[in-house]
Chains A and B, each alone.
Chain A
Amino acid sequence: MVSSSTDTAPDVRLDTVAVAGTDPERDQPWAALGLKADEYARIREILGRRPTSSELAMYSVMWSEHCSYKSSKVHLAQFSEIPQVTRAGKMLAGIGENAGVIDIGQGYAVTFKVESHNHPSYVEPYQGAATGVGGIVRDILAMGARPVAVMDPLRFGPLDAPDTHRVMPGIVAGVGGYGNCLGLPNIGGEVVFDATYAGNPLVNALCVGVLRHEDLHLAKASGVGNQVILYGARTGGDGIGGVSVLASETFDQSADGSSGPAKRPSVQVGDPFMEKLLIECTLELFAAGIVAGIQDLGGAGLSCATSELASAGDGGMHVELDRVPLRDSTLAPEEILMSESQERMMAVVEPADVAAFLAICEKWEVDATVIGEVTDGDHLQIDWHGERVVDVPPRSVAHDGPTYHRPFARPADQDDLQADGAERLARPATGDELRETLLRLVASPNLCDKSWVTDQYDRYVQGNTVLAQPSDSGMVRVDTDTNLGVAVSTDCNGRFARLDPYAGAQLALAESYRNVSTGGATPMAISDCLNFGSPEDPAVMWQFAEACRGLKDACIELGIPVTGGNVSLYNQTGETAILPTPVVAVLGVIEDVTRRTPTGFAATGDRVLLLGETREELSGSEWAHVVHDHLGGLPPQVDLAAERALSELLVAATGVVSSAHDVSDGGLAQTLAESCLRHGVGVRVDLSEVAGGDEFVALFSESAARVVVSVSPEDEERLFELAAEHGVPITSLGETRGDALEVTGAFGVPLEELRTAWTLTLPAAMA
């Protein structure tokens, strides 16, 4: 960006459109900015000249994998085949906006989205995770919604790996440190450990927001003469190239973390206090009715906000870049355009409303500056101290990035992997061996108590949290008068997706859908965060393509739309990609949150029953993983019709059942253990009617479409009637009693022994 000059040469320190004309063949650092040769050639073709250094900066970040979805969009396109309707009608805003918006009745709408912040969180765990929360919250805010809850699906390398002890405490503290300071309850998420996530931790962040229908705001800049206002934090040198050189590449030397420090300046630094002010300030601006268009500044910063706002409007925008308030006065225009400094928003405001806009910002002590205006042209034009440094068609930056039809192919080893099922593994035979297996599994990293993590998050703030972790879903009250509420769950079993990415993605959706229903809410829509390895590996691209196809087919069958989401690729160290991890978030609606079904046995003397059918499905299970370190075979069967019937039964049975808990990772054994430990209520079960009486299969199989419920004896008959009406298999297991988990004829475990095994793992590892 800086060239040496001689006495006779013009001042080339500032590369302007005029300079690009007089010096057309200058060498440009397109490769260092993450662009490919053909992409650079395409930019020259669009502009009919070489880009200025500022234009090159904009294209490089906006055409990055992270922003342009260039490898993934040919597969994501099939989501448009899913009808954009929910049970409540047409979506109010769909894919392509900052976040999709759905009608939940009573004049309310909800917007939610899950995004990744994986790469930054590996390089700088605390700030990477913190700014992941900040980014998704601003996305929700930009739709006109008040953020009401967050969730964080997290994945780490093995619990005993040294780098996990660097990454995990920082990420958890970052999620908590930022979210707690915003006053947003953290109501769920996941904590998963697997060797493939070593060096590739996954930090996904979800936010839910609520708005009245009339408050919906879309990101567009229209109305000639309208003013473009940048407000929030000042722009600094942090996060430059975050989306391109950081999020869109693998860390080749990263096995020992050595490439981490070099990339640290590409990670943004968060200020949650500023974000809290920005939230309250923005909501007051919405309430005043003086926002014509709005966009948050996240990945790709001003490059993204200006080009997306302009291309969604009438196309013309003029910006005076030197008006942008800076933290560092030495920043060059290219750096200002690429900076991903946090806690910034851009609004389009009618001239008559500017004074009122600035007054509200002043009340909240938020800096606001008019930096440009909407023009009647069709170009985005950016000046630096009076000289034009950018003159581009905004769509070419925001939407006309490259599309790759990357080769994809079923991996050569997939057949061998699927042929190597868990049936061959040695199984516990005696009651004592079953007991030991149960204790070993509940203490394993993926199944143990996650309070060490979730106690660092505020789950109570705002006073509307009806359900939170460790419940199957998080649930918040939306209206204190009518008790309307929403529930959200996020799920994915990456081992299932490795065995069969099509089925694995459907199982992720099915589990999340089931978890929302378990609390008594009706599933309405999904958002997804698709975390995969390098798209340059045909095997990874096949996993991605299969997962997308699986999600599309499942959404169509279940009748729920995708409201939006995010793709994170290059989660790979050397040749080793992460387990394919299509995290699916399902949002459900419950008309009366006082009728929600809690998780966990609440009282002795209740009948305990299993809903759904148990098959011998142990491949990819936690049992095979923990006991045999085995991954092979086929994942559990997907039966979406059964999931739907079960979901409808659970919604119909609210007020009838006294508790409900999903059966998934760890099987029935884990569900019973968690149900007992929640309130310290024991259970005695007889498994002779489950899985043909094979107690091992009954306890540890991970067949889908199953839930354990408890019901008072007087309501048991009603539950059987409802199950029959919905065509859901129902099996009596036993009753809640005493202070032990007992399997008749096999073994018993005192709850205190069970609790000790379950709770000690994380604190001991992190001590």
Chain B
Amino acid sequence: MRVGVVTFPGSLDDVDAQRAVRLAGADAVPLWHGDHDLKGVDAVVLPGGFSYGDYLRCGAIARFAPVMTEVVAAARGGMPVLGICNGFQILCESHLLPGALIRNDHRKFGCLDQTVRIENNSTAWTTAYAAGQEVTIVLKNGEGSFVADQHTLDLLEGEGRVVARYVGANPNGSQRAIAGVTNEAGNVVGLMPHPEHAVEDLCGPGTDGLGFFTSAIVALQNA
């Protein structure tokens, strides 16, 4: 199983995402923003960071990177795609996911161990979890407040497309405490918190994040 991890100029958590993929049992394949080539991978992770320095608007420039043409086409064809933090922002800018991420309501960057509840365990990236399971992973962002219009929010809730929700105090002002959403088909998931920082007991708050990556591998094996 081959999972691609895209590096944009300014990507930071690409090595972490590659490590998480390997720990989950797949081969991690580095993909370069400037290439029109997915190198035959079976799934793609868009990692966290500050692609293009977050200039203009988070994810707004990365969405035009050559590799995104291929990622968007593959996602529409059903390939599992996970966007983490900046990757989530890029997926929203690419219109693969609804809504947008704006500056935290407290106006500061925040890095904390965050508990989220898995609301939908039937996406390509969440089958390893039980519905309603609470997991602790890392949240770190300056612009992580999820917003959408009321109609879209109601639609997401009604169709079960809220993948994860913050537990406890809302850490960034996200509407309805939404931490992650999926597309209609369930193959594309955007997450503001970072599961790739919770895959080893040694570094980070436990191993609760590993399930996101093992889920995709299982989904691909069963496909």
Contacts and interface: CB of A to CB of B under 8 A. Distances in A.
Given A183-B13, A455-B112, A463 B200 contact: yes
Nearest to B138: A460
A89 B171 CA distance: 48
A176 B142 CA distance: 10
Contacts of A447: none
Interface in B187-218: 194, 196-197, 199-200, 202-204
Residue from A181, A274, A364, A460 having most chain B Cβ neighbours under 10 A: A460
A746 interface: no
Nearest to B32: A363
A177 interface: yes
Nearest to B140: A458
Interface in A449-469: 455-466
Nearest to A451: B112
Contacts of A97: none
Contact of B109 (A274, A365, A456): A456
A594 interface: yes
A273 B110 contact: no
B204 A465 contact: yes
Interface string B100-119: 00000000111110000000
Interface string B46-63: 000110111100000000
Interface in B157-209: 194, 196-197, 199-200, 202-204
B153 interface: no
Contacts of A462: 15-16
A272 B111 contact: no
A460 B52 contact: no
A464 B15 CA distance: 11
A173 B108 contact: yes
Contact of B111 (A274, A365, A460, A477): A460
A467 to B, nearest CB: 10
B196 A463 contact: yes
A461 B50 CA distance: 12
Contact of B53 (A181, A364, A465, A593): A181
Contacts of B140: 180, 458, 460-461
B111 A183 contact: no
Contacts of A458: 109, 111, 140
A249 interface: no
A481 to B, nearest CB: 12
Contacts of A177: 109
Contacts of A460: 16, 111, 138, 140, 194, 197, 203-204
A463 B12 contact: no
A344 interface: no
Contact of B13 (A277, A365, A461, A477): A461
A715 interface: no
Contacts of B203: 460, 463-466, 477
A15 to B, nearest CB: 38
A451 B120 CA distance: 32
Interface string B1-42: 000000001101101100100000000000000000000000
Nearest to B49: A183
A271 B55 CA distance: 11
Residue from the set B10, B142, B196 with the largest chain A CB neighbour count within 10 Å:
B10
B9 A364 contact: yes
B173 to A, nearest CB: 16
B18 to A, nearest CB: 9
Contacts of A593: 202
Nearest to B17: A463
Contact of A276 (B10, B16, B202): B10
Contact of A176 (B12, B109, B196): B109
Nearest to A485: B202
A181 B50 contact: yes
B16 A461 contact: yes
Residue with the greatest number of chain A CB neighbours at <10 A, chosen from B111, B142, B199, B204: B111
A461 B109 contact: no
Contacts of A176: 109
A477 B202 contact: yes
Contacts of A180: 50, 109, 140, 142
Contacts of B9: 273, 276-277, 364-365
Contacts of B55: 273
Nearest to A182: B12
A594 B200 CA distance: 11
Contacts of B53: 181, 271-274
A459 B49 CA distance: 14
A457 B108 CA distance: 10
Contact of A273 (B16, B19, B52, B200): B52
B15 A463 contact: yes
A545 to B, nearest CB: 41
A654 B129 CA distance: 35
B144 to A, nearest CB: 13
A543 B49 CA distance: 44
Contact of B10 (A181, A455, A461, A477): A181
A176 B111 CA distance: 10
Contacts of A464: 203
A460 B16 CA distance: 9
Most chain B CB inside 10 Å of its own CB: which residue of A273, A364, A463: A463
Contacts of A182: 12
Contacts of A271: 53
A463 B138 CA distance: 11
B113 to A, nearest CB: 9
Contacts of B200: 463
Nearest to B108: A456
Contacts of B49: 183
Interface of B: 9-10, 12-13, 15-16, 19, 49-50, 52-55, 108-112, 138, 140, 142, 194, 196-197, 199-200, 202-204
12 contacts: A177-B109, A181-B54, A273-B53, A277-B10, A457-B111, A460-B194, A461-B140, A462-B16, A463-B197, A463-B199, A463-B203, A480-B19
In the complex, the 9 A-B pairs of residues with the closest C-beta atoms, listed nearest first: A273-B53, A183-B12, A463-B16, A460-B197, A181-B50, A456-B109, A176-B109, A458-B140, A458-B111
Given A180-B109, A458-B109, A460-B194, 20 more contacts: A176-B109, A177-B109, A180-B50, A180-B140, A180-B142, A182-B12, A271-B53, A276-B10, A276-B12, A365-B9, A456-B111, A457-B109, A457-B111, A460-B16, A460-B140, A461-B16, A463-B199, A463-B200, A464-B203, A593-B202
